[in-house]
Homo-oligomer: A and B are copies of this chain.
Amino acid sequence: MNPKNKRASLKDVAQLAGTSTATASRAISGRGYIDEKTKLAVLAAARELNYQPNLQARNLRQQSSCLVGLIIPNLLNAYYTSLADSLSQLLYEKGYHLWLSSTRDDPQVEEGMLYDMLGYPVDGLIWVPTRSDDETLIKYIQDRQVPAVTLVRRVIKDMLDTIVFEDMAGSRVAVQHLLNLGHRRIAYIGGDTRHSSNHDRWLGFQQTLEAAGVEIQPDYIKLGSNWNTLGQVAATELLCMSAPPTAIFVASNALMPGVLKTLRQYHIRVPEDMSIICFDDLDWFSFSTPPITAITHDHTKLAHAAVDLLMNRINKADKYASPPLFMTIDFDLVLRQSTAPPKHLQGGTLPSLKDLR
């Protein structure tokens, strides 16, 4: 065996097979002309030494890393989870591997990760941006000429390839559904509007109400950035109002646990006392009590589109020649049982917290 039991290198294989490293390389990589006999000899030697090519060295030489970076806010949200799962599969099929990191919505971490990934360098980048307004950061990515696609949240001026859900349209449909049921006192709980996703949903909400001639009551609007606590805090505030809403539009699935917990705590019946609709769907929504009406998206579609866009750019000679593409993923409104006409239309009176306790 080798000194120190070190991993065999191509040189060792070549030596044992009695060829040059070049020939050994040809035998193993299967490229270039080579005599069948010598090829077999090399392969035998390789097997004997338990040889496995060092991919890092190969990649350095070939100016690629076969790595695609994925930067997401976190993996505690099924939103990103299913994305990461699909991407891992799809990339593997294309011969790439997934370098994952989760920023916890911390711009510092995000910048560090971006820097490390581009420094490696990765062959491509898939990114759900936290800090999407920082032109310097995006310029940096462009300068590095790294094929990159931005997901879910748009970056400033859409400077990179982008795929988002139809946030505004989805939001409109959700709100219209509540309006159609007869709701006028509609609350909105949603995330940080600095992210385009939240911004557009919020906008869709406003526009739909305005178009319907319903005035937006500021107390009904709960915007925040801490998805851990926002749902619970906002719901509690809404319930404690003297004239609480009759319906809540929850603009992110991450907020639903808090909202539902609070509703239960106050013994609010859904949908009799309160209608609930959520912008994104989760598996347990369908067998929650009651099942939750939601706007759903096919997340694998997003993953497929992302990989397509990325491969498209990776395989292009001048990777940055064509202008950034912009795509959206469509949605469905899945009617379940968490929405119904408001109480006063059901024959009852307008509910207030006093009635409900």
Contacts and interface: CB of A to CB of B under 8 A. Distances in A.
Contact of A98 (B56, B101, B282): B101
Interface in A145-160: 145
A328 interface: no
Contacts of A57: 60
A109 B112 CA distance: 31
A251 to B, nearest CB: 19
Q: How many copies does the complex hold?
A: 2
Interface string A107-134: 0010011011011110000000000000
A104 B119 contact: no
Given A82-B75, A98-B100, A100-B84, A115 B287 contact: no
B88 A82 contact: no
Given A115-B52, A287-B260, A74 B85 contact: yes
A252 interface: no
A349 interface: no
Q: How large is the interface on A (under 10, 10 to 19, 20 to 34, 35 or more residues)?
A: 35 or more
A35 interface: no
Contact of A88 (B5, B85, B102, B260): B102
Interface in A84-107: 84-85, 88-89, 92, 97-102, 104
B65 A76 contact: no
Given A60-B56, A102-B85, A119-B54, A145 B75 contact: no
A300 to B, nearest CB: 11
Contacts of A121: 7, 54-56
A29 B327 CA distance: 41
A36 interface: no
Q: Which secondary structure dominates chain A's binding surface? A: helix
Given A5-B145, A84-B75, A288 B288 contact: yes
Interface string A55-66: 111011000010
A88 B109 CA distance: 11
A278 to B, nearest CB: 13
Contacts of A260: 287
A119 B85 contact: no
A257 interface: yes
Nearest to A89: B102
Contacts of A5: 145
A30 to B, nearest CB: 16
A207 interface: no
A355 B109 CA distance: 58
Given A75-B85, A284-B288, A56 B120 contact: yes
B75 A101 contact: no
A283 B258 CA distance: 10
A264 interface: yes
Given A67-B99, A99-B100, A257-B287, 16 more contacts: A7-B121, A50-B143, A52-B144, A54-B119, A54-B120, A56-B65, A74-B85, A75-B82, A75-B85, A76-B85, A85-B102, A88-B100, A89-B104, A98-B99, A98-B100, A288-B289
8 contacts: A52-B144, A55-B116, A55-B119, A56-B121, A75-B82, A98-B99, A99-B99, A288-B288
